């Protein structure tokens, strides 16, 4: 199989932000996405029948809408496009009494009671995956970064996988599931990997090996389209990007921008390493797998494995003492210094899972208070 990698300008950017629709009083999920999308489209007469808004999309569940940017040259531009889309959604949801919520999971919703969008591909997914597929009441932030050459895709994937625990710790915001505290910072991370072809990517030495893998997936009926490979980090050949899909949903545009900047800077750094003729270090798959579990379990308190020799460090210390300092010149070049500095702010105030547990404790375990606190964060009021 020959998989063409689309031309893409190096380090251009695209961001996807999945949002849940909730009742403004009870915090319960509201399956109103079809109505919201229809009303959003109605405000844009240039859209033809059945055309989606270019920046507001349908998702698996009827309680979810996804905001997406176009191809952006900076994190600032991406944040601006997301903010505009957020405003367009609120113009419709506010009169409905519907609020926007974003975290890795909804704290108390009954997952199997959430209606699925009426699309053939979604029906097929649920039919195949059954109980696990019915649990996917989860929300994330995805970041695409453009690559100027196909042969960079897999080495850059390997490089981003080394930083899996950093992204997971910063974004972890799904400690509750079905009304219970799971004990994990990110239940979403372990839930999503139960789907076929989801979870950590395989690490291939060359693009041809990846093409062989994809051919095998088609031949054996595992996938019908390339997009059904749902790895935590994956090449997206049709766009000419590498896509970082590790992060739990985040409740502020500032935090989404911080994650986008960290992704863009790392990918640009890896690209420069390759241009200079060097190799990107990799870690054994068992270290990568352990790092994912540690970050999902312990979040900001995870002690992570840094290299093949087994060197370890607290994830927040590694971010502060090494990663952010090292990436400052890259951020300056890309024009995202302010957004990269916002990573430090996440570390200082804590991740979403920590705030959720605090809010729950302050309200005698009432998880409705947790949802409504996230709603206020989405509005910039908390």
Which is nearest to 210 in space by CA: 193, 229, 232?
229
CA-to-CA distance for 88 and 1, rounded, in angstroms?
Answer: 41
Q: What is the mean pLDDT of the chain?
A: 94
The model's pTM? 0.96
- Residue pair 103/95 in contact by the 8 Å Cβ criterion: no
- Residue pair 164/272 in contact by the 8 Å Cβ criterion: no
Least confident of 185-199, 319-333, 363-377: 185-199
Residue ranges and CATH numbers for the domains of the chain are 12-379 (3.30.590.20)
Predicted pLDDT at 115: 66
**127 band by pLDDT with thresholds 50, 70 and 90:** confident
Predicted pLDDT at 118: 67
**Residue 343 structure tokens:** 């990573």
- Residue pair 347/300 in contact by the 8 Å Cβ criterion: yes
**125 band by pLDDT with thresholds 50, 70 and 90:** confident
- In the block, tokens 């996230």 appear at 374
Predicted pLDDT at 129: 74
- The pairing of strands 230-231 and 198-199 is parallel
Predicted pLDDT at 184: 98
The larger pLDDT score, comparing residue 297 to residue 117, is at 297
What are the C-alpha distances in Å from 3 to residues 121, 146, 186? 22, 17, 34
pLDDT of 230 above 90: yes
Q: How many CB atoms lie within 10 A of CB 321?
A: 12
- Residue pair 59/20 in contact by the 8 Å Cβ criterion: no
């Amino acid at each position: 199989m020959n998989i063409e990698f689309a031309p893409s300008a190096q380090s251009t950017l695209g961001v996807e932000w999945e949002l849940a629709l909730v009742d403004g009083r009870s915090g319960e999920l509201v399956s109103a996405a079809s109505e919201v999308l229809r009303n959003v489209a109605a405000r844009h007469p240039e859209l033809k029948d059945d055309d989606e808004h270019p920046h507001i999309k349908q998702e698996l569940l009827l309680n979810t809408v996804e905001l997406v940017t176009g191809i952006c040259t900076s994190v600032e531009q991406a944040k601006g496009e997301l903010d505009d889309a957020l405003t367009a959604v609120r113009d419709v949801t506010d009169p409905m009494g519907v609020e926007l919520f974003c975290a890795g999971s909804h704290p108390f919703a009954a997952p199997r009671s959430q209606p699925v969008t009426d699309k053939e591909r979604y029906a097929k997914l649920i039919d195949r995956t059954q109980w696990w597929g019915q649990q996917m009441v989860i929300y994330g932030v995805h970041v695409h970064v453009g690559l100027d050459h196909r042969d960079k895709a897999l080495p850059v994937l390997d490089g981003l996988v080394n930083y899996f625990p950093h992204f997971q710790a910063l974004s972890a915001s799904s400690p509750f599931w079905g009304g219970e505290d799971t004990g994990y910072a990110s239940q979403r991370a372990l839930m999503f990997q139960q789907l076929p072809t989801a979870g950590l990517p395989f690490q291939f030495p060359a693009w041809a090996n990846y093409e062989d893998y994809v051919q095998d997936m088609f031949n054996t009926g595992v996938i019908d389209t390339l997009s059904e490979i749902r790895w935590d980090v994956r090449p997206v050949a049709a766009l000419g990007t590498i896509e970082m899909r590790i992060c739990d949903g985040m409740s502020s545009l500032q935090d989404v921008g911080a994650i986008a900047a960290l992704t863009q800077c790392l990918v640009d750094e890896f690209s420069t390493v390759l241009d200079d003729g060097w190799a990107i270090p990799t870690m054994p798959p068992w270290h990568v797998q352990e790092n994912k579990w540690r970050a999902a379990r312990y979040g900001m308190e995870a002690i992570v494995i840094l290299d093949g020799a087994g060197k370890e460090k607290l994830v927040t210390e590694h971010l502060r003492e090494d990663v952010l300092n090292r990436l400052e010149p890259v951020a300056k070049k890309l024009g995202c210094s302010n957004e990269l500095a916002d990573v430090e702010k996440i570390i200082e105030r804590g991740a979403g899972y920590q705030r959720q547990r605090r809010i729950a404790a302050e309200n005698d375990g009432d998880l409705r208070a947790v949802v409504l606190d996230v709603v206020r964060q989405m509005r910039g009021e908390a």
